[in-house]
Structure 1
């Protein structure tokens, strides 16, 4: 459709709502990173177990994303976006009052459904914005991830150090409620629906179970032992279920994830790149946090606030990189940007590993 058939004024108004959603969500997720050792101490769990604070959220998001996307196709993307934001708000509220680690992880898992907000938001941008504005709008929303992290690390670290990490959840609730209301009232419903599609709940259950088992094996391996029976059985069950998921998806008419589409070289490569990058970034966040806060000679013995400030450049570079990448993709293509970004990320992770080794020696 030509640009003339779109409402440019609406696009700019909608962007003022959709972009802050990215800020709020990334603020909510990044605010826990400097507090991971404190959370472990408060709930009396070890560093391996506390990693579930991040992994439970990610597993839930990975499984929920395709389901949320298909629900948006069937019932309308704006409607499902509002419902997801309501679920997210409830989970954020409950997390701030979680009395034990088990409930905290359950609420974090529910909160992970909130990752489905972004495919829906990007779809609304793609369908309702003038075509020339779509790349810039999506690049701007992506940059908001960095802004959310950037403002979260020092602010949330200060709150966590002075009055407790739980209060970060309490403070963010009004903003999430406000954004849910604004989305419900001012965002237009998508014009494209596909009510004939179906949702693969069985595949979602198999995928979620396989990821949970493999994550449990890796998380508990330092306690169980890498060659222990518990580790090997748990990992084997996870691999078997994941293999079952792949064969199951090939046989049904409406798969959760199109395995046939992944046979396309470009699709497979981009998904692998996204998985590796996401896995590496979240693992690095936890590892760097512990490196900064552990006492000498293993770590640098920093407090929560100093850790948040030290990690601030990561979020700032993410913000600048998203804006720069969105423009560079238009000029040089996606492949070039992925390759260059991977090289840069690998180089600096290598430097960080050398710093970690020298600091502990």
Structure 2
């Protein structure tokens, strides 16, 4: 009888993992499926290239705002309840995307879809609750592998759907799967009640830094809007531009003041003084900023008419970016094992070096689709190493009780980098345009692509310099798999 109960409990745990891991597939599918369609959005909504960057930025900013709030609410009201609410908002955003007829409505839909990113830390918290400690590392690997897998499926599947049925059909493809997953979570996922959790964790802080979250969101949005206005309106709207930057500065000052006073800050400035924590956090932020500049650029380059682009379709975008996604997926999984043999700071250094080489290859050799694909592949290899190494340095640089705060701060700053990158790329695409005989409209020129790639390369070079400085310090011991000697122990 006891054996049967243990088997049932074990099967329930693995069932929960499979269900919640599916979130990564669906949400990352949604995030990447629109990449091949960015030129279609520009044409259908009659928007500039700089405005199109907000299709990514709106999604990411919403994620940055909602993720910390969702995590706190899940601790107070229950993880399952908040997870279902977050997913309901995401499903509404997917449905709204199908019926968007203008850019404003689409950006609102994308922001609602970005709320779905808040499901990840909540789902991870559920997995951590239900899995025994000995099996948690395996569960973490499976859960994490669904993110790049979802990106691969989204890129290929999204391109095929866009090519054959149009971009609106991509949202319809996700919708029934998301609804089905919502219903499955309702029926099959079992978690502790918030009352039980509070009893088990009486010291758990249940305050929510809503003011700080909104102040940070206002700072980012006003800053990016001001940059966009510089390109689109120029000197004619200098007073509006000045007002936006002034408001952004005021919001930043308010954010800092709020964070210094609040009991549960988004950014713990005391933690920022940790010399082992701040540099790898900045490395990751710069890494994501640079790669998201490329995310927006490649689809436009591939689908622009020759000779300014490659004259390809949505499927061509997928074929160029697919090696990047596949290598990143494999590299993310394998780098966890490499970490057992290579010092974490050295792994981050190697990764940033390879990424920087990849960006310079893109800068020098982007005249054909195959060359771009090779550059992206090298970039993906470096990216997987630098992210794994950087995160591991952060994890072991702070006390155990500060791990959640440290990861939350890191995720928040990464999202800031992700939101800024596309806007800078979009502005450069809008500033340097040309025409093609016989084709209506204007398209980014080689000058735009060169400036984007060189900017990304120098941002990556800055992250390499930081990684070099970190690696020269006293080694930070890596978290190794059980039974495997750590890098420091073997030296």
* TM superposition score normalised by structure 2: 0.68
Q: Which residue of 2 aligns with 1:197?
A: 206
Deviation at 1:280, TM superposition (A): 2.2
Q: Does 1:50 align with 2:52?
A: yes
Matched-pair contact (CA < 8 Å) for 1:51–1:219? no
Q: What secondary structure is seen at the aligned counterpart in 2 of 1:300?
A: coil
Query: Can you list the C-alpha shifts for 1:234-254, whole angstroms capped at 9, x where unaligned?
Result: 234323312321221011222
Q: Please give the alpha-carbon distance, in whole angstroms, between the structure 1 residues aligned to 2:249 and 2:140.
A: 35
Q: Structure 1 regions of 5+ residues with no counterpart?
A: none
Aligned length: 357
Superposition pairs for residues 284-303 of structure 1, below 5 Å? 284-303=294-313
Q: Which residue of 2 aligns with 1:325?
A: 335
Deviation at 1:166, TM superposition (A): 0.7
Q: Which residue of 1 aligns with 2:21?
A: 19
Q: Please give the alpha-carbon distance, in whole angstroms, between the structure 2 residues aligned to 1:274 and 1:131.
A: 28
Q: Which residue of 2 aligns with 1:83?
A: 85
Larger radius of gyration: 2
Moved more, 215-224 or 162-171: 215-224
Matched-pair contact (CA < 8 Å) for 2:211–2:258? no
Q: Which residue of 2 aligns with 1:209?
A: 218
Q: What secondary structure is seen at the aligned counterpart in 2 of 1:264?
A: coil
Deviation at 1:98, TM superposition (A): 1.1
Deviation at 1:334, TM superposition (A): 4.5
Q: Please give the alpha-carbon distance, in whole angstroms, between the structure 2 residues aligned to 1:174 and 1:246.
A: 42
Q: What secondary structure is seen at the aligned counterpart in 2 of 1:199?
A: coil
Superposition pairs for residues 346-361 of structure 1, below 5 Å? 346-356=356-366, 360=446
Matched-pair contact (CA < 8 Å) for 2:22–2:146? yes
Give the counterpart of 2:268 among 253, 258, 261. 258
Q: Which residue of 2 aligns with 1:315?
A: 325
Moved more, 123-132 or 62-71: 123-132
Q: Please give the alpha-carbon distance, in whole angstroms, between the structure 2 residues aligned to 1:277 and 1:322.
A: 15
Q: Which residue of 1 aligns with 2:441?
A: none
Q: Does 1:134 align with 2:136?
A: yes
Deviation at 1:196, TM superposition (A): 5.1
Superposition pairs for residues 1-361 of structure 1, below 5 Å? 7-190=9-192, 192-193=197-198, 197-225=206-234, 229=238, 230-332=240-342, 334-356=344-366, 360=446
Query: Relative contact order (C-alpha < 8 Å, sep 6+): which is higher?
Result: 1
Deviation at 1:121, TM superposition (A): 1.6
Q: What value does the CA root-mean-square deviation take over the aligned residues?
A: 2.5
Query: Can you list the C-alpha shifts for 1:259-279, whole angstroms capped at 9, x where unaligned?
Result: 332332333234323322222
> Residues 226 and 177 of structure 1: is their aligned pair in 2 closer, same or farther, counting only changes over 3 Å?
farther
**Structure 1 ranges of 4+ moved more than 6 A:** none
Deviation at 1:333, TM superposition (A): 5.7
Q: Please give the alpha-carbon distance, in whole angstroms, between the structure 1 residues aligned to 2:232 and 2:48.
A: 9
Q: What secondary structure is seen at the aligned counterpart in 2 of 1:99?
A: coil
Query: Can you list the C-alpha shifts for 1:150-180, whole angstroms capped at 9, x where unaligned?
Result: 1222221121122210100011101111111
Q: What secondary structure is seen at the aligned counterpart in 1 of 2:179?
A: helix
Q: Please give the alpha-carbon distance, in whole angstroms, between the structure 1 residues aligned to 2:88 and 2:47.
A: 30
Q: Which residue of 1 aligns with 2:481?
A: none
Deviation at 1:203, TM superposition (A): 1.3
Q: Please give the alpha-carbon distance, in whole angstroms, between the structure 2 residues aligned to 1:62 and 1:32.
A: 20
* TM superposition score normalised by structure 1: 0.90
Moved more, 24-33 or 328-337: 328-337
Query: Can you list the C-alpha shifts for 1:116-136, whole angstroms capped at 9, x where unaligned?
Result: 111112222223212232223
Q: Structure 2 regions of 5+ residues with no counterpart?
A: 1-5, 369-444, 448-491
Q: Please give the alpha-carbon distance, in whole angstroms, between the structure 1 residues aligned to 2:127 and 2:231.
A: 44
Query: Can you list the C-alpha shifts for 1:301-339, whole angstroms capped at 9, x where unaligned?
Result: 211111112111111112112211333345546444433
> Residues 56 and 143 of structure 1: is their aligned pair in 2 closer, same or farther, counting only changes over 3 Å?
same
Deviation at 1:38, TM superposition (A): 0.6
